[in-house]
Structure 1
């Protein structure tokens, strides 16, 4: 009775989710302390991510408490998905879609004008597919919360959603790496090349962890290991939220490492300014 594989994996996922939520709080605090000059839209974006992440960890904690405490000794409760599971999937879909579109915006600015939509449209479509199937998962589980139905419907709801998320993640990482590499190869300024190489490493590292968990979730979902899929599903939004916050909070470090005391302002939201800087040979570095 209950989830195949038991609730141990869900408990582990909830603990990891709570741990990563602490990192989200720290990164949000660091952002507002050090980047008060950012545009209002960026501040609102960070606030929205924090609120959604807070809601997500609340729903995850409720789900674990319901199954492990409230339903102790009531085996019939273990045959159904509680409402907080559907709510966590809804927030999960919003967080991942927002973060991926944030990086799509960066790619849009980095691309040459002729290639912007050619590169970004496939990624946007993948994000939309993930979001639509995520909402479908929420609707289906609310209409029929039986575990047997959720296991049967996963091939038409959760599995396509996770697959589209993985595809979008790969496309984002490959696009960022290629565009940053091309910008660095055209630059005659050593510091700009070093900066762009560092950004490539950051992009790969960001993708590696999130993609590793996403691929693992696709695997266990395809193998009908629902408990492990739910456990991994609780941690993925936290990884995405922290990847966005990390991309914003590393700007000061990158400035100090690559530009010293230069007065260049490297804005992560307008990272497309980097190719313009690297494209002319008389940037701020040459004037030092």
Structure 2
């Protein structure tokens, strides 16, 4: 592949792998924090966290497996930069499975916040499924074609579609959560500060994952002859994993803030916005898998 800028291409892969490894370490730390802070969470949430950590660990191994192929096995053979290692191809579908798991988590959160409305949830789930299918197709085509030049020539649209769908789901989730939280605000409400914090957090996490996906897609479209897009793609799944784990691990802080606000409130208020971190097991309350904002007469 004579048109490839070798230093920038190898550099992009290496830098992407290093950042991905750092974020993978953050995923491991967040997983340990979760186990310490929420031992009474439902088994389904614990399994989700274990799944996210496992997928992230395997994904990191696949990244460094592909770098071993480029930097060690094929050292000195510049033409091999065009070859797609099977480990790199598999990393695409691992990213998609992890992303799909996170999208489903937030779709369920929207479902609960919207009082079990399918109107907001179904489009998110459908687009997430399509994104997973396109990523699986990308992995299969990469393994069949075995070179980036062939992949660009034959099915360039497939990888673009997957990135576009992923970004679209992020935007839908962010807008839906923003709408649901914003609609829970009341004029002069004592809990508006807590809701504002959730809105800001929702915007930050949604914009980070969406921006990373969009930038990777732009690099793929504009500069497909180098692997800058792939270096960025290494990082995407790590951002999704951390966004989910941070969401789970910040529940106690938000709950404590809510309690401090409610404790200072007047019992004569007609309405109060109650932010409930949904608790686990044995106390006649639901799971901690989502925050539920509701208006309650007091």
Q: Decide: shared fold, TM above 0.5.
A: yes
**Greater displacement, 216-225 / 74-83:** 74-83
Match of 2:291 among 265, 268, 271: 271
1:3 touches 1:227 (CA, 8 Å); kept in 2? no
Aligned equivalents of 1:50, 1:57: Cα separation in 2: 11
Q: What does residue 281 of structure 1 align with?
A: 297
TM value normalised by structure 1: 0.89
Q: What does residue 251 of structure 1 align with?
A: 251
Q: What does residue 163 of structure 1 align with?
A: 164
Q: Tell whether 2:87 aligns with 1:88.
A: no
2:190 touches 2:261 (CA, 8 Å); kept in 1? no
**Unaligned 5+ runs, structure 2:** 264-274, 279-287
2:276 touches 2:291 (CA, 8 Å); kept in 1? no
Deviation for aligned residue 1:174: 0.3
Counterparts in 2 of 1:125-140, with a 5 A limit? Answer: 125-140=126-141
Aligned residue-pair number: 274
Aligned equivalents of 1:205, 1:153: Cα separation in 2: 36
TM value normalised by structure 2: 0.86
Q: Tell whether 2:104 aligns with 1:101.
A: yes
Aligned equivalents of 1:2, 1:52: Cα separation in 2: 35
1:280 counterpart SS class: strand
Q: What does residue 286 of structure 1 align with?
A: none
Match of 1:74 among 64, 73, 77: 77
Aligned equivalents of 1:57, 1:3: Cα separation in 2: 29
Q: What does residue 61 of structure 1 align with?
A: 64
Instruction: Rate the CA distance shift 1:20–1:40 in 2: closer, same or farther, 3 A.
Output: same
Instruction: Rate the CA distance shift 1:219–1:32 in 2: closer, same or farther, 3 A.
Output: same
Deviation for aligned residue 1:78: 2.5
Q: What does residue 241 of structure 1 align with?
A: 241
**Unaligned 5+ runs, structure 1:** 283-288
Aligned equivalents of 2:252, 2:126: Cα separation in 1: 33
Which structure is higher in strand share? 2
1:10 touches 1:228 (CA, 8 Å); kept in 2? yes
Deviation for aligned residue 1:75: 3.3
Instruction: Rate the CA distance shift 1:202–1:78 in 2: closer, same or farther, 3 A.
Output: same
RMSD between aligned alpha carbons? 2.0
Q: Tell whether 2:237 aligns with 1:217.
A: no
Deviation for aligned residue 1:104: 0.5
Aligned equivalents of 1:176, 1:20: Cα separation in 2: 25
Aligned equivalents of 1:3, 1:16: Cα separation in 2: 26
Aligned equivalents of 2:155, 2:195: Cα separation in 1: 41
Aligned equivalents of 1:118, 1:261: Cα separation in 2: 33
